[in-house]
Structure 1
Amino acid sequence: MSFARLLQPRHIAIIGGREAEEVIQQCIKAGYQGKLWPVHPKKQQIAGLDVYASLQDLPAAPDAAYVAVNRNLTINMVKELAAMGAGGAICYATGFSESGPEGEALEAELLAASAEMPLLGPNCYGLINYVEQAIIWPDQHGGEKVETGVAIITQSSNVAVNLSMQQRGLPISYLVSLGNKVKFDLHDAIREFAKRDSVSAIGLYVEGISDPSAFESAVRYARELGKPVVAIKSGRSAVAQKITLSHTASLAGSDELISALFARNGVGRVNSLDALIEALKVLHIHGPLQGYKLGSMSPSGGDGALVADAVEDTRFELSALTEHHQQTVKNTVHDLVTVSNPLDYQLFDWLDTERLTATYAAFIEREFDISLCVFDYPRPDRCDDGNWQPAQQAIINAVASTDAKVAVLATMPECLPEHTAKTLMAHSIVPLSGLIAGVEGLQAAADIGVAWQSPLPAALFTPPKNAEDKTLTLIDEAQAKQRLAEHGVVVPNSVIVATPNEVASAVTSLKFPLVVKALGVAHKTELGAVKLNLRTLEDVSEAVAGMAELSSRFLIEEMISDVVAEIIVGVVKDEQFGPYLVLGAGGILVELMRDSRSLLLPVSRAEVNQALKSLRSAILFHGFRGRAEADLDAAVDAILAIADFAQQHGDTIEELDINPLMLRATGQGAIAADALLRIRV
């Protein structure tokens, strides 16, 4: 299925009343050069154009059709358009799958009616093509004609409208709202816009991802074409956690999984629409940044301090200047200026374009991945920016002479007028509107650039779905550990007994101290189903006797000593992503710290290492307060074995919780001290 005609139409049929007329008005206002064919059974003219009474009266099959009639009539119109060979239809009507079972049935009819014809929506505003000025959109918008710009894909029409109204100089080539995504889903849009020369980067407003594997394939295709993708996902604070049997499932949710999907595929993530716009500006001008080395210049120490504070909790480094770099800059500034990064060059040369050009060029030409030049312009309605022009021209000259990557940053959005932003962009300088959003946008661009420097991981693991009629079964700890051991996970030496009388003969091969656990019981600590540090046969026998009401089988294990750190390793089943890993602070810290990372399968050794190092509790791995270093190599081996187990049993595994995986000192290994496993059989 090709969406080319729909996205770049030579003629547009507009079907309906009020919304259809608005589409026509917007196309005329923008200067669309193609044919507009209004269709209405009763009207003679709309916006000065002759109206066709039916689709059959049109001069030809339209490349695009905007269908703005009720949901039942929409189905009929789409069927007619498909039969006549139209290039695609945009369905404005609501009342489909978003409205309940009746709407779902109508949406299925709509899909069938469209046959092989592309379809956008339903329940969407539509599409704006600012390159050809095809404004297939029933509302005002804030964009303008461009030759090259970014494509913005949203799952909300109102968010799309709002993004079009930005006054920050961002050129937009395409803007689309997806609605119910019956045929034109997020991954379809990414692929279509990535292959267009008029698109420099792609921005996403995401509420959910219906097909993670297709999304992954699409963003990888965009990467192959050099088109970076940056996204904001809504609903971070609204992820509802179900109460489940294991601790692991309470640590992760769909938002974490989408973050993991973004990270493994080099999709930049931001947390606000402001930052999305700023990231897209960086990507449009400079593409992905190569790293996090940041330079900052300003005519005020206060600005420099604000920048330093803003990057404190980011991955950026305000790297120190080398002695040579420092001296080169020093040769261009007033004697009273202290040369450092950030650089406060003060106002001695503020009106001297030549001297400022020399200072800027000396500072930015070194090994920064990007340099900031902080300018806060006066408001244009009450003030004159004449005194800012020498400095602005100086940074333009410096960029031209060095080819360095530079952004002019205003600490507040109001302090960078749109006309100034456009001027800077015309000279390959990124205008960043607002300190916090600007830094977040820069970091997203750097995240993409760093990710692009590494090979892509293997394609996302997609196991077959579990049969609905299979029974969810809890595997006891002994059986769970046996299965894990077969995949290479180290577990404690153990035996199983049924009564206290069996203890003496059963434990002869084990070393004291021992642990006794009642089998078939989840969350043993809370129920008194585990006894630790048992040093005599009598202690072990008493422990078994004391748990007689909880179980008929008891696991006796050697107690793990010399533990440096404890982590939790879990596998949880997600409806869309299948099984995935969760790593986090283990033992009693699992609920106290809620310190975890989610990893999609398959997972590499490097990804596991990075996830462990990124935990807040990672300090415990590295000789905290005189302790030995933890055996992280053994921990990674165990985690990879667990991941392999999850993939091989992806069709049956529902939940696995190893808490804790005990890490001993370097060279002494990692041991699964507890395991909870639920499967469908």
Structure 2
Amino acid sequence: MSRDLSRFLAPRSLAVIGGGAWCAAIVDAARRIGFSGTITPVHPTKTAVAGLPAVASIADLPEPPDAAFIGVNRHATIEVVKDLRAAGAGGGICFASGFSEAVAEDDSAGDLQAALVDAAGDMPILGPNCYGFLNALEPSGLWPDQHGLVPVERGVAILSQSSNIAINLTMQHRGLPIAFVATLGNQAQTTQAGLAHHLLDDPRITALGFYVEGFGDLRAWEALAQKAHARGIPLVALKSGRSEQAQAATVSHTASLAGADAGAQAFMERLGIARVRSIPAFLEALKLGHMFGRLPDARIATISSSGGEASLAADTAHGSRVTFPALTAPQETALRDALGPMVALANPLDYHTYIWRNEAAMTRAWSAMADPGIDLIGLILDYPRADRCDPVDWEIATRAAIGAAAQTGARYALVASMPELLPEATARHLMDHGVLPLHGLDHAIEAIEAMSGDVPDAQPPVALSGSDAETEEFTEAAAKDALRRFGLSAPKGDFATKATAVDVAQAVGFPVAIKVQGLAHKTGAGGLALGLTSVEEVQAALSELADGPLWIEQMIPAPLVELLVGITRDPAHGFLLTLAAGGTLTELLDDSQTLLLPAPRASVEQALFKLKLAPRLTGYRGSPPVDLTATLDAIDAIQAYALDNSATLHELEVNPLILTQDAAIAADALIRKAPDVPD
């Protein structure tokens, strides 16, 4: 259901329902941000709350409120929401907890949340279990605590599933203009993606930031990303969950390779949502987005008056996508003219202190670094403590930075190596004059990496996962037969016992491989014998193999590369396609890439060439290349099976997929899925 949030989020009249200690905080927060409309407390027995005249019921309000804060217990909240909706209110903040987040402790909590949504109907609500919102564009808000926002003309919006994190973000001292903050709590009705979709219609919103615990409705996020990218509004996320180790029951390598967070990471990459690891980097990325949007790439130059800072800049970026292009001839000429013969020219640049305190010379030198091949020029500068030192010389540097940006039209940032050494007033002044203030070299580099490069082309909607019913595991033969029907090549084979193994091996045709069925990891567990070329070799191998049913198949030609191709069901994000080094190397190499289904062929190819083993795909040290077309065809076939069985599939793995000069052949396969449901 589409809801108009305009009246609710830019209110002229507020109602505060309940009489808790937070009531005075709500009134103070609204006045602090500059709200000039009416605020009416609602309390059944008190005639005044927080110094304001109160009314006894919602029916007694002088007019339907544009926004109401509902500060009563969870059961009473549902009745209040019904009354507000009947009165024609614009929307409500549901403060109470004990809804869906408490299901583990209270079986009725889920039913309460459903009742709340039903009570709200078409009236917007935030929460439950949330603090509310602050609007610094149309100064207003319902917020039961202190905050650090002031009115702004334009700026970023921050939407958080955590109220406390949102409070802390409003207290930043980094010069970031925050235009709107909302907490969403359980997102019973209004979600992060839905609220962000509304905010994108306001041209004063320059970037959107999210603290995300779970995405929920994937289709809503896909629509949001499409709309944001069409309007050039960058999306930044701080997503919790990287450290989760718990995995669904699995018998393959794939889930452990992907990790608990892989689905979220793949989803954000697919949608072009910049992800950062920390709150400071989140704020720096939003500042960058506010000032410049996404950078074309992560090619930067840094300028400092210290060789130590130049080295530190390079070291901080090491291992990231951030690069320092070599100086061009025009840059070298302009820098030499500005700095003279005593400075060694390089990027990062140590300009020494020959031009310190000379505003014109500093402006000329810093302007000389501008070049079309540089996406951002960082001036590394730490300001002294104003309470103990004289900052006059640094004010000269501030003017030089602003002058260089004005003269060249290039993107300039002033980067403090330590966040506390870039004063907030200076940061705001720089931003007002076109220079990006970045607090902390490490957080600056992380923000630049996250906020650079083109957003990916639109991809098909992710495949949603199906049943979580009890599963059954296919035999290797059945798994290969199932995949063969979708175009995957697999060797000829048959079942056997130790008593019939010789006859089956002869019927299959030498050389053969013998595999003991029912072992999760056959290598090293007496579960595998390879390259057997005669009856005698089969007989010798049988004495070494573990007991169990056998699968005997034709031996595949010697591989150039062994690849793992796995698909796992992720209830939160669909299906994960994992590509990794296969065979015995899977557990030794930290070498994998994860995509979401359906993964376009071009994306799969890009992922393959991000693997550490990629050089072996095209020929390494004289070895021939693999058949890349056959490899991609095989991965397409595996995907096709998964998509056709998405309602029941839990896990699929081909390991190894043997890659040769002219083929891609499944040497082993595993499928685990719920039984098919008859039509």
- TM-score, normalised with respect to structure 2: 0.94
The reply on whether 1:41 has 2:44 as its aligned counterpart is yes
Deviations 1:252-311 (A, max 9, x none): 244111110000111001000000000000000001100121111111111111111111
Q: Please say if 1:466 is aligned against 2:472.
A: no
Q: Residue 604 of structure 2 contacts residue 632 of structure 2 at CA under 8 Å; is this kept in 1?
A: yes
Question: How far 1:619 moved relative to its partner?
Answer: 4.5
Instruction: Report the 3-state secondary structure (helix = DSSP H, G, I; strand = E; otherwise coil) of the residue aligned with 1:251.
Output: helix
Q: Does the 8 Å CA contact 2:415/2:437 hold for their aligned counterparts?
A: yes
Aligned partner of residue 236 in structure 1, secondary structure: coil
- 78, 81, 85: which one pairs with 1:78? 81
Match of 1:671, as an amino acid?
I
Does the alignment pair 1:266 with 2:260?
no
Cα pair 1:477 1:520 within 8 Å, conserved: no
* Greater share of helix: 1
Of the structure 1 ranges 187-196 and 609-618, higher mean CA displacement relative to structure 2 is found in 609-618
In structure 1, the partner of 2:482 is 483
User: Aligned partners of 2:50 and 2:673: how far apart in 1?
Assistant: 64
Q: 1:176 to 1:239 in 2, by over 3 A?
A: farther
1:148 equivalenced with 2:148 (yes/no): no
**Which stretch of structure 1 is more off in the superposition, 68-77 or 159-168?**
68-77
**Residue deviations 1:497-522 (CA, integer Å, cap 9, x gap):** 46745744764563x32112244554
Most deviating of 82-91 and 580-589: 580-589
The separation in 2 between residues aligned to 1:181 and 1:526, in whole angstroms, is 49
SS of residue in 2 equivalent to 1:238: coil
- How many Å separate the matches in 2 of 1:345 and 1:411? 17
> Of 639, 645, 648, which residue of structure 2 is paired with 1:652?
648
Instruction: Decide whether the 8 Å contact of 1:521 with 1:550 is kept in 2.
Output: no
- SS of match in other structure, 1:378: coil
Match of 1:233 among 208, 226, 239: 239
How many residues are treated as equivalent by the alignment?
669
- After superposition, residues 321-332 of structure 1 pair within 5 angstroms as 321-332=327-338
User: Who is 2:18 aligned against?
Assistant: 16
SS in 2 for 1:12: strand
1:450-529 aligned within 5 A: 450-452=453-455, 454-462=456-464, 465-466=466-467, 468=469, 472-497=471-496, 500-501=499-500, 503-504=502-503, 507=506, 510=509, 512-519=510-517, 521-525=519-523, 527-529=525-527
For residue 570 of structure 1, the aligned residue among 566, 573, 590 is: 566
Q: Is the 8 A contact 2:356 2:362 kept in 1?
A: yes
The separation in 2 between residues aligned to 1:550 and 1:436, in whole angstroms, is 56
Separation in 2 of the partners of 1:506 and 1:253?
A: 39
Deviations 1:452-482 (A, max 9, x none): 2x4211121225x2274xx522211112112
Please say which of residues 44-53 and 627-636 is displaced more in the overlay: 627-636
Match of 1:668 in 2: 662
Q: More deviation in 341-350 or 38-47? A: 38-47
Contact 2:34 2:151 in 1 (8 A): no
- 1:377 deviation in Å? 0.7
- Give the direction of change, closer, same or farther, for the CA distance of 1:44–1:501 in structure 2 (3 Å limit): closer
Shift of 1:602: 0.8
Aligned to 2:591: 595
- For residues 570 and 81 of structure 1, the distance between their equivalents in structure 2, rounded to whole angstroms, comes to 51
Decide which of 67, 89, 112 is 1:106's aligned counterpart.
112
Question: Secondary structure at the residue paired with 1:651?
Answer: coil
Structure 2 equivalent of residue 408 of structure 1: 414
Q: Deviations over 1:396-431 (max 9, x none)?
A: 111112110111100000110000000010011110
Counterpart of 2:60 in structure 1 is 57
| Mapped pair 1:608 → 2:591 | no
Measured in 2, the distance between the counterparts of 1:505 and 1:276 equals 62
Aligned to 2:532: 534
Q: Which residue of 2 aligns with 1:375?
A: 381
Moved more, 436-445 or 626-635: 626-635
| 2:9 aligned residue | 7
The answer to whether the aligner puts 1:95 opposite 2:89 as a matched pair is no
Residue aligned with 1:283, SS:
helix
Q: Report the equivalent of 1:27.
A: 30
How far apart are the structure 1 equivalents of 2:281 and 2:520? 44
Question: How far apart, in 2, do the equivalents of 1:274 and 1:619 lie?
Answer: 37
* Preserved contact between residue 174 and residue 427 of structure 2 (Cα < 8 Å): yes
The DSSP-based 3-state class of the residue aligned with 2:357 is: coil
> Does the CA contact (< 8 Å) of 2:267 and 2:573 recur in 1?
no
The two structures have a TM-score, normalised by structure 1, of: 0.94
The aligned counterpart of 2:177 is: 171
- In structure 2, which of residues 577, 582, 585 is the aligned counterpart of residue 586 of structure 1? 582
Q: 1:344 to 1:75 in 2, by over 3 A?
A: same
Matches within 5 A, 1:426-441: 426-441=432-447
2:195 aligns with: 189
**Aligned equivalents of 2:557, 2:279: Cα separation in 1:** 51
Is the contact made by 1:216 and 1:261 (CA closer than 8 Å) also made in structure 2? no
Partner in structure 2 of residue 246 of structure 1: 252
- Greater displacement, 649-658 / 151-160: 649-658
SS of 1:524 mapped into structure 2: coil
Q: Conserved in 1, the CA contact under 8 Å of 2:508 and 2:553? A: no
What's the counterpart of residue 212 of structure 1? 218
What is the CA–CA distance in structure 1 between the aligned matches of 2:464 and 2:59, rounded to whole Å?
A: 45
Contact 1:500-1:542 at 8 Å conserved across structures: no
Structure 1 unaligned blocks of 5 or more: none
RMSD: 2.0
Residues 478 and 519 in structure 1, CA contact (< 8 A), matched pair in contact too: no
The amino acid across from 1:567 in the alignment is L
Among candidates 406, 424, 429, match of residue 430 of structure 2:
424
Aligned residue for 1:592, secondary structure, equals coil
User: How far is 1:43 from its partner?
Assistant: 2.2
Partners in 2 of 1:236 and 1:380 — Cα distance? 39
SS at match of 2:312: helix
Q: Distance in 2 between matches of 1:430 and 1:329?
A: 22
